[in-house]
Structure 1
Amino acid sequence: MTKQLFGSIEAGGTKFVVAVGDSELNIIEKAQFPTTAPAETLAKCVDFFTAHPVSALGIGSFGPIDIDKKSATYGQVLATPKPGWAGADVVGTLKAALNVPIAFTTDVNASAYGEYIGGSGKDVDSLVYFTIGTGIGGGAIQDGKFIGGTGHAEMGHALCVPRPDDDYQGTCPFHGRHCFEGMAAGPSLEGRTGIPGQDLPRDNKAFEFISDYIAQMLFNTYVNLRPAKIILGGSVLSDAELPMVRDYFEKYNNGYVATPDLTELIVTSKMPNNSSATVGDFALAKQVLG
């Protein structure tokens, strides 16, 4: 009997990471390349999986994307600011070339599923995963199913309440200083200070602002969904900010709803080598085979 292998594509706005995994979701082949024009980038994916054939493929993509299987534009990138990618038919192109079943979701959903399968959420039935990097995105899982309706969640663009001592006007072209992505994603660090986030000392006031806004977002999430675990990924927050995030969360809750120990509820991703999206893609690919 031929051994089943599963493919993963982490389709990012800056780079694509492609990988092959075995039935235990272990990575056995991996490569990456820059995100250029759709035809060129998808052709590199086809070349990789032609050289390393798989039984099914999981794709976690930057967005916005159409994940509604009943939609005429299912599998496509929608109105993205990424030049040339609006309308790119990711699923159609890869399915025509590789002829394998494909699971298609957002990059953050793929990471959420990886955490659910083998990461910080592997022992719970419900979780919300946030990535806090160049942008902010969130994915929610209940009993192994993504929570969503007509499209994927846009948790990073929920409304936030700016602090009175923070005069920053935000980076979001749609919501300015009134959404979490505009006020707490990576570009807001350099926007406030003129210093790239990776070079900014962790005791800079900007990290207090960001921790406050992230806590608002997590509190909103908790009272809406009551997940067993909230997992934070991405490059902006570190374990150093977690105590401050938890303190602000407790302040916003003000004793209203019962919570587990916040050190157990609000955690960071511990997946090795930032592999949550890849493992999630493998698991979703395995799932589409039944």
Structure 2
Amino acid sequence: MLVGVETGGTKVVCAAARADAPDRPVAVRRFPTTDPGATIGRIREFIAEAGADEPVEALGLASFGPVDADPSSPRFGTITTTPKAGWADVDLLGRVNQEGLPAAFVSDVLGAAVGELRYGAGRGASSLAYATIGTGVGVGIVIDGRPIGGDGWPEVGHLLVRRHPADRFAGSCPFHGDCLEGLTAGPAVLARWGVDASSFPAGLHDEAFAVLASYIAQMAYSVVLTTGAEKVVLGGGVMLAPGLLDAVRSALPDLARGYGPAALSAAAPEDVLVAPGVPDSPGVVGALALAADLL
């Protein structure tokens, strides 16, 4: 039996699956991310229950971050400089995996990128980026089938972007103010406009979408230019707003102006910028897949 865990800023998803079918969990449990002690205790309860009938052979853990995912680092498995209260410098892997199971540890978005490449919107591609625009902003990258990550970087969520001329919001990132996360994450949307991205009134909708789409398209273009990713999967709560994905696609050609790798020059925006294909929790599916790889 495999166990995969995705810890997000607001919720945790735990799943168990057979080693030959990591994309088809046989048990799933969700609960809120609260303080480290209570949250880790519930994760450990799930692992114990999953191994009640047959032993758990490997563990995959995909965590919100930044995280230290470099196996050679003395802080491997640790959440590092997160703004989430109480979670900075928590040895998440060590506290979850007290049994010393074979374990894979990556960021939550890198887990989602693996899940989408193997079982979702990235099927048939060799390189993919998964971006979540939600409580925070993060991007996981897989190049030629290999997850890219180590000591918490790359961290595309804090990319510095060109300001949209209609945007006067100072930004909400505690580190940088008006970085990508500070301008597009759910808390930034709520602080700027007073509603979430799915609830803009008619008089505000078009301008707000143009602002958000500009920043998200800049992120996607930068990722494709720097990594050559064939697809950028746009997920997270903000991207659930009806029509926002289309607005980002519409903003991309004006940014690219015909310049870029094959993913841009040989494809329409709708072939590059795609919605998630894993129906539920691609991060936990990716965590299960990485656990299966250890066997």
**TM-score of the alignment, normalized to the shorter chain, above 0.5:** yes
Match of 1:251 in 2: 254
Moved more, 114-123 or 42-51: 42-51
Alignment correspondent of 2:172? 171
Q: Structure 1 residue 247: deviation in Å?
A: 2.2
Q: Equivalent pairs: percent with the same residue?
A: 38
Q: Deviations over 1:77-102 (max 9, x none)?
A: 22323232222211112222x33111
Q: In 2, distance between residues paired with 1:213 and 1:219? A: 10
1:16-95 equivalences under 5 Å are 16-22=12-18, 23-25=20-22, 26-53=24-51, 54-95=56-97
The answer to whether residue 290 in structure 2 is matched with residue 280 in structure 1 is no
* Cross-structure match for 2:6: 10
Change over 3 Å in CA distance of 1:165–1:199 after alignment to 2: closer
- The alpha carbon displacement at 1:149 in A equals 5.2
Give distance in 2, aligned partners of 1:149 and 1:88: 17
Classify 1:267/1:95 alpha carbon distance in 2 versus 1 (closer, same or farther; 3 Å). Answer: same
1:222 aligns with 2:218: no
**How far off its partner does 1:204 sit?**
4.4
CA distance in 2, matches of 1:87, 1:243: 38
What is the CA–CA distance in structure 2 between the aligned matches of 1:62 and 1:227, rounded to whole Å?
22
CA distance in 1, matches of 2:191, 2:273: 27
Give the TM-score of the pair, scaled to structure 1: 0.91
Is the contact between residue 160 and residue 180 of structure 1 (CA under 8 Å) also seen in structure 2? yes
Alignment of structure 1 residues 127-166 onto 2, 5 Å: 127-148=128-149, 150-166=151-167
Instruction: Report the CA distance shift for 1:79/1:224 in structure 2 as closer, same or farther (over 3 A).
Output: closer
Once residues 137 and 84 of structure 2 are traced to their aligned partners in structure 1, the CA distance between those partners, rounded to angstroms, is: 16
Query: Who is 1:212 aligned against?
Result: 214
Structure 1: unaligned runs, 5 residues or longer = none
8 Å CA contact 1:187, 1:197 repeated in 2: no
CA RMSD for the aligned pairs? 1.7
Higher mean C-alpha deviation, range 208-217 or range 84-93: 84-93
Q: Which amino acid aligns with 1:31?
A: R
Q: For structure 2, which runs of at least 5 residues remain unmatched after alignment?
A: none
CA distance in 2, matches of 1:150, 1:86: 14
